[in-house]
Amino acid sequence: MTIKSIKNIPDEEILCSGTPACAGCGGLLALRHCLKALGNKTVIVNAAGCFTLLSVYPFTPFANSWLYTAMACAPAGAQGIRDALDILIRKGRLNAQEDVKVVVLTGDGVAYDIGLASTSGAIHRNLDFYYICSDNEAYGNTGFQWSGATPFASKTATTATGCANPTGSQLAKKDLFEIWRSHKPPYLATISPSHPVDLINKFQKAEQFKGPKLFINLSPCPPGWAVDASSSVKFAKLAIDTGIWPLKEAIHGDLRHTFIPGRLKPVEEYLREQGRFAHLFRPVRQEAALQKIQEMVDRYWKEVREKEPPPSGANKQ
Amino acid sequence: MPKQLLQGNQAIAMAAEVAGVKFFAGYPITPASEIIHEMVNKRHIKVLQMEDEIASINAVIGASLAGLKAMTATSGPGFSLMQESIGLAHIMEVPLVIVNVQRVGPSTGMPTLPAQGDIIQCKHGSHGDYFPIVFYPNSVAELYKYTVMAFNAAEESLSPVILLSDGYISHLYETIVPHRDFEVVKRTRPPLGTGNRHFTGLSHENSVVKTADADNYRRLIASLQEKQQLTAQRYNYYEYCACTKETDTLLISFGALSRVAYYFRNDFALYRPIRMYPLVEEIKTIAARYKRILMMEMNTGQYVHEIESILRREIQFIPILGGCIDLGEIKREIARVG
């Protein structure tokens, strides 16, 4: 059932307070809503990342079960769980009412880099599972090193800025959404902690599908992005309003944007207050890099507007 | 040369530059990440952050065969992922350096406290028979020195050489004099792409594949073993401290733990292997002087079996587990076994 307002978000808290995550973690904000939508009958399969720190049983904020896998293969762990549960249900050893949703929860390092092959295999096998990728655009848990999700010009521990490399990361962010979409999974979406209604509705829509249901959340990361912990939602929203993080979904590969901004804010509004992009503004303004980022965003939305003219009322959150 | 305050991992990166490294590929992992952090700031070294450790070691193999001195750095979980390709680098005779900054395992263990749990993995982690050269220093100055030695040994042996460290030593800050006057072994083999040579993981003789020739395979393994032994003899590094008083006990330890062993230098004789593999033969003559041999490692007993095997005698063993080195606990353990 589609909800229209944050008032309709379920009250029940599946993710309890008091986690060891960093203050203002954008991934945790989104995860709280994801779990509200999924309910508490889930098993989370996690590979090394920031959220690994959450599950230190019995001091865990989760009201569900948890499996940790090797970094490269969380979806493979999910495959084993799903198959075993299906067999137990088929043999009558587990009541179908007690079945749980299998949810892979990883960061972008796993999703974009080391675990990409495992996810590809799971989608290809049409594994009935959810995948929530908390994308803070670097390896946040090991000191904010570059990952395949790191955007062009971001400073990270391994794309240090200096005389030799004034711009930071030279590579553009890998388009994981399109990589996953090419597998034509039943449901695939981007989400944001600043748009919880959109987030909840996407999970509810996904529920009707059997097979892979994949979500990528842009997770503002105060320590890594060098922003104030109170500003995560602000930056999540700016990412959407500037067009840097499009909210979209794909059903069996058919793409649709769930929010098409009427008029994009300049990307500078998103970039200039983040420490990881500060070198683009100080000591010398790097016009070429800023223009390149703006052009990438403009090119993307030009194509979107040609294919998907915004329906009336589509911009309401 | 002025003194510098350096972290262990910084010293490794600096020394690698002195040794002539031109290519680094790695993947973030605590407590080894500072090595890649340092490397990215070096202008004349190509540094790549790869998608995982399997990619890292294979990029290093490619770069090395194509003519560049190359290295990677990781910790236990990444070292485990590299194992298949370490075997590949041995059979293809690829000179490269792997730094393994050990942490508590198995798996993620106690992130990211130090341990010495990868000793056996260094020698037997990959399938098949191979004969690695492994160094394990115990200070920032030694990390600096033995990084250069590791590159030299790799070039001389045409094999992957492992430099072991641990979370303590690599994260330790010490003042050292970073000399640059080492004798550096230069690359002599022509780069891949010249001379129509094929490098393969299959059993071979020169570039010719011989997958069903048992005699050739035996010759190949014997020649690899002999080559490693011959090279290792030039890197016969260990530390032996005869006790200031008369003692019947030899205390053996290495890496971070050996720094605590110095506390007992007035009670016991001390032995510390620096070249872990192949084993330093001098341990036989040193051990013969003592009735009792005591050994401690930050694992449940890995290197002790190697020492027992070479000495053919029983050793009293003290495991120091949990990433914690506590002098009081070590004293109690020594009293318990003794």
Strand B160-166 relative to strand B96-102, pairing: parallel
Sign of the CA dihedral with B276 first, then B277, B278, and B279 last: positive
pLDDT of residue A247: 98
pLDDT at A316: 47
Say what the pLDDT of residue A19 is: 87
State which residue of chain B sits closest to A162, comparing Cα positions.
B41
Cis check: omega of the bond before B191, within 30 degrees of 0: no
- To the nearest 10 degrees (0 to 180), the angle between helices B8-19 and B140-157 is 40
Q: How far is A160 from chain B (nearest CA, A)?
A: 7
- Helices (runs of H) and strands (runs of E) counted in chain B: 12, 16
Cis peptide before B106 (omega within 30 of 0): yes
Q: In the prediction, which pLDDT does B198 show?
A: 87
Q: What is the pLDDT of residue A312?
A: 55
Percentage above 90 pLDDT, chain A: 87
Phi-psi region for residue B27, left (φ > 0), alpha (ψ -120 to 50) or beta?
beta
- Per-residue pLDDT band for A311 (boundaries 50, 70, 90) equals low
A152 CB burial (10 A radius; 0-12, 13-18, 19+): middle
Please say whether the beta carbons of B10 and B169 come within 8 A: no
* Burial class of residue A121, CB neighbours in 10 A (0-12, 13-18, 19+): middle
Q: Averaged over B122-128, what is the pLDDT? A: 97
Judged against a pLDDT cut of 80, whether residue A252 lies above it is answered with yes
Of A70, A143, A162, nearest to B28 by CB-CB distance is A143
Same domain, B182 and B277: no
CA angle B243, B247, B250 (to 5 degrees): 70
Residues in chain B: 338
Using an 8 Å Cβ cutoff, are B126 and B87 in contact?
yes
Kindly indicate whether the domain formed by A7-307 is annotated with CATH number 3.40.50.970: yes
**What is residue B179's three-state secondary structure?**
coil
With a CB cutoff of 8 Å and minimum separation 6, the contacts of A153 are: A167, A168, A169, A277, A280, A286, A289, A292, A293
Is B107 within 8 Å of chain A by CB?
yes
Q: Decide if B33 touches A, using CB distance below 8 A.
A: yes
Same domain, yes or no: B227 and B243: no
Q: Which helix or strand (DSSP H or E) is residue B34 part of?
A: helix B33-39
Interface test with A, best of B24, B27, B45, B46 (most A CBs within 10 A): B27
Considering the domain architecture, whether residues B186 and B95 belong to the same structural domain is answered as yes
Q: Which of the listed residues B217, B233, B249 is the one where a domain comes to its end?
A: B233
Q: What is the tens place of the pLDDT at every residue in A99-135? A: 999 999 999 999 999 999 999 999 999 999 999 999 9
Residues B242 and B229 in one domain: no
**Total structural domains in chain B?**
2
ω before B112 within 30° of 0 (cis)?
yes
Output the pLDDT for position A317: 46
Please report the pLDDT score of residue B283 as a whole number.
98
Residues of B in contact with A162 (CB under 8 A): 41
Q: In terms of DSSP bridges, do strands A254-259 and A247-251 run parallel, antiparallel, or are they unpaired? A: antiparallel
> For residue B252, what is the domain's CATH number?
3.40.50.920
pLDDT in the model for residue A223:
98
Residue B7 half-sphere exposure toward CB, CA atoms < 13 A: 16
Q: Calculate the CA dihedral of residues B213, B214, B218, B219 and round it to 10 degrees.
A: -30
B99 and B200 together in one domain = yes
Residue closest to B102 by CA, chosen among B69, B130, B136: B136
Q: How far is B306 from chain A (nearest CA, A)?
A: 30
Give the residue-averaged pLDDT of A75-100: 97
CB within 8 Å: B47 and A158: yes
Classify burial at B278, counting beta carbons within 10 Å of its beta carbon; exposed 0-12, middle 13-18, buried 19 or more.
Answer: buried
At which of B233, B263, B295 does a domain end?
B233
Q: Which two structure tokens, joined as six digits, stand for B219?
A: 């010759």
Q: What interhelical angle do A232-241 and A26-38 show, nearest 10?
A: 80
Question: Mutation test of the interface with chain B: which of A69, A71, A171, choosing the one with the most B Cβ atoms within 10 A?
Answer: A71
B284 and B162 assigned to the same domain: no
Do B107 and A70 lie within an 8 Å CB cutoff? Answer: yes
Paired tokens of B116:
């010495």
Whether the link from the prior residue into A151 is cis, omega within 30° of 0, is no
Residue A55's closest CA among A42, A36, A72, A68?
A: A68
d(CA A25, CA A232): 7
Q: Are residues B101 and B217 in the same domain?
A: yes
Which tokens sit at B113?
């406290």
Residues 6 or more apart whose Cβ sits within 8 Å of residue A162: B41
Q: Once rounded to an integer, what is the mean pLDDT over residues A257-279?
A: 96
DSSP-derived 3-state class of residue A97: helix
CA separation for the pair B85, A190 (Å, rounded) = 37
Judgement on whether residues B189 and B48 belong to the same structural domain of the protein: yes
Residues B222 and B246 in one domain: no
Going by C-alpha positions, the residue among B308, B330, B328, B310 that lies closest to residue B319 is: B330
Where residue B74 sits, what CATH number does that domain have? 3.40.50.970
pLDDT value, residue B1: 82
Buried residues in B86-99 as b, exposed as e (16+ CB within 10 A):
bbbbbbbbbbbbbb
Strand partners, A42: A101
Long-range contacts formed by B37-40: CB under 8 A, 24+ apart: B37/A143, B37/A145, B37/A157, B37/A158, B37/A160, B38/B9, B38/B10, B38/B13, B38/B14, B39/B13, B40/A158, B40/A159, B40/A160
Rg (CA), chain A: 19
Same domain for B75 and B127, yes or no, is yes
Nearest to B119 by CA among B106, B141, B136: B136
Mean pLDDT of chain A: 94
* Least Cα separation, residue B263 to chain A (angstroms): 34
- Helices B76-91 and B214-232: crossing angle in degrees, nearest 10, is 120
Percent of chain B with pLDDT over 90: 93
List the one residue out of A200, A292, A308 whose CA is nearest residue A246: A308
CB contact under 8 A, B51 and A116: yes
Q: For the segment A145-202, what is each residue's pLDDT rounded down to a tens digit?
A: 999 999 999 999 999 888 778 999 999 999 999 999 999 999 999 999 999 999 999 9
Residue A277: which residues within 8 A CB-CB, separation 6 or more?
Answer: A153, A154, A155, A168, A271
Q: Find the domain containing B271 and state its range.
A: 238-337
B37 vs A160: CB contact, 8 Å cut-off? yes
State which of B233, B257, B286 marks the end of a domain: B233
Q: What is the pTM of this model?
A: 0.94
Please list, in sequence order, all residues whose beta carbon lies within 8 angstroms of the beta carbon of residue B245, skipping any fewer than 6 positions away: B266, B267
Query: What are B148-203's pLDDT values in tens digits?
Result: 999 999 999 999 999 999 999 999 999 999 999 999 999 988 898 888 888 999 99
Q: Is B175 exposed, middle or buried (0-12, 13-18, 19+ CB in 10 A)?
A: exposed
- Over range B231-258, report the average pLDDT: 96
Give dist(CA A84, CA A203) in Å, integer: 24
Instruction: Report the alpha-carbon angle B44-B47-B48, nearest 5.
Output: 155
